[in-house]
Amino acid sequence: MARIEADDLRKVFRRPDKGPGLAGSLRHLVERRYTEKAAVDGISLRVDAGEAVAYVGPNGAGKSTTIKLLTGILVPTSGEVRVNGIVPHRHRIENARGVGVVFGQRTSLWWDLPVRDSFELLRDMHGLGAAEYRENLDRLVEMLQIGDLLDSTARRLSLGQRMRCDLAAALLHAPPIVYLDEPTIGLDIEVKDRLRTFLRQVVAGGTTLVLTTHDLGDIEDVCSRLVIIDQGRIVHDGGLRQVIETYARERVMHADLASRPVSLSGVAARLPGATVTEERDGLGVAVAFDPLAHTAAAVLSALQQEAEVVDLRIEEPAIEDVVRRMYAGQLDAAPGERTGT
């Protein structure tokens, strides 16, 4: 069953072309001129119950605008949208009962109130019963580990603490759909990991999740489907694994070495198609390789033939990189056609 249905959704923003100062304003009154920009330009999307969708694209691609259209914050210029069977911007209150929303840059908590008071206000707005509220809150407090934070005011929380509390606030009423706009922006690794674990649990519980992000880790850990948007249009919609295999095949292995390698060209010779470069004044090596051509184990073993490897990490391409390259036509859409470079 489709939880979210969007059909040819468009949102056009109009900016007045105004000269500076009062003179400009007055002239604008007589001679109205605008520049129009379609932030969302014909998007169609179906999300089924229990799906976890990553919605990504470069800055200004229209991600947040889409989320705001789906949540009823903005009224679309044209097109249709239905969430849980209702038109969100026409029935905002009804819509709000069935969704939870977190904006990474903005808190939905009352700034000067203890977190607990914010939760209780939301409880009353959602009309939750005492038992239901208790149960949901206890579960969220445990999963997000926010028990110690309930009595501090929102303005005293750190970014990571605030984000955990915001997530709890959005999920208090156990909504079937949750939208997260950049939920991990600005957070450190440890907090990110904790949040991703939490989101996996939420999705496993049958909640439909739509999240926008810049962070490939968010997507890989949580989502099964990837929608890529650029300049207001969807340029890819499909399985996450498939996109990564197709567009983001190249991995880079960075290895720290105990001593200088015998020969870099020796490594390159063992790994046809891979690019080998020196790092850290010769005490490190970076190998860019295609995982379909060489396994990570093969790359490592090739390195170990030439030097003692002390430490290593594998870097995956950032999704915005993939998007940018795809849009520039540097990448082929069909898998398997790519030959070793």
3-state per-residue secondary structure call for the chain: CEEEEEEEEEEEEEEECCCCHHHHHHHHHHCCCEEEEEEEEEEEEEEECCCEEEEECCCCCCHHHHHHHHCCCCCCCEEEEEECCECCCCCHHHHHHHEEEEECCECCCCCCCEHHHHHHHHHHHHCCCHHHHHHHHHHHHHHHCCHHHCCCEHHHCCHHHHHHHHHHHHHCCCCCEEEEECCCCCCCHHHHHHHHHHHHHHHHCCCEEEEECCCHHHHHHHCCEEEEEECCEEEEEEEHHHHHHHHCCCEEEEEEECCCCCCHHHHHHHCCCCEEEEEHHHCEEEEEECCCCCCHHHHHHHHHHHCCEEEEEEECCCHHHHHHHHHCCCCCCCCCCCCCC
Query: Least distance (Å) from other proteins to the CB of residue 71?
Result: 5
Nearer to other proteins, 60 or 340 (CB): 60
Report the residue from 52, 56, 74, 146 that binds other proteins according to the rule CB under 8 A: 74
Query: Least distance (Å) from other proteins to the CB of residue 125?
Result: 5
Q: Please give the size of the binding site for other proteins, defined by CB under 8 A.
A: 43
Judged by CB under 8 A, the stretch of 66-74, 245-253, 273-281, 307-315 that binds other proteins is 66-74
Report the residue from 51, 52, 54, 65 that binds other proteins according to the rule CB under 8 A: 65
Sorted by sequence, the CB contacts under 8 Å of residue 86 that are 6+ apart come out as 94, 95, 98
Amino acid identity of 331?
L
Interface with other proteins includes 71 (CB under 8 A)?
A: yes
Scan residues 80-139 and list those touching other proteins (CB under 8 A): 92-97, 99, 101, 103, 106-108, 110-113, 117, 121-122, 124-127
Nearer to other proteins, 111 or 148 (CB): 111
Nearer to other proteins, 88 or 284 (CB): 88
Query: Least distance (Å) from other proteins to the CB of residue 44?
Result: 20
Interface with other proteins includes 20 (CB under 8 A)?
A: yes
Nearer to other proteins, 68 or 196 (CB): 68
Nearer to other proteins, 72 or 284 (CB): 72
Interface with other proteins includes 63 (CB under 8 A)?
A: yes
Query: Least distance (Å) from other proteins to the CB of residue 81?
Result: 15
List the strands of the sheet with 2-16, edge to edge.
34-48, 2-16, 78-83
CA 26 to chain centroid, in Å, comes to 43
Nearest residue to 223 via CA among 207, 247, 245, 246: 207
Interface with other proteins includes 30 (CB under 8 A)?
A: no
Report the residue from 17, 75, 282, 333 that binds other proteins according to the rule CB under 8 A: 75
Query: Least distance (Å) from other proteins to the CB of residue 110?
Result: 6
Query: Least distance (Å) from other proteins to the CB of residue 260?
Result: 48
Judged by CB under 8 A, the stretch of 1-9, 60-68, 201-209, 284-292 that binds other proteins is 60-68
Scan residues 142-201 and list those touching other proteins (CB under 8 A): 153
Residues binding other proteins (CB under 8 A): 13, 20-22, 25, 39, 59-65, 68, 71-75, 92-97, 99, 101, 103, 106-108, 110-113, 117, 121-122, 124-127, 153
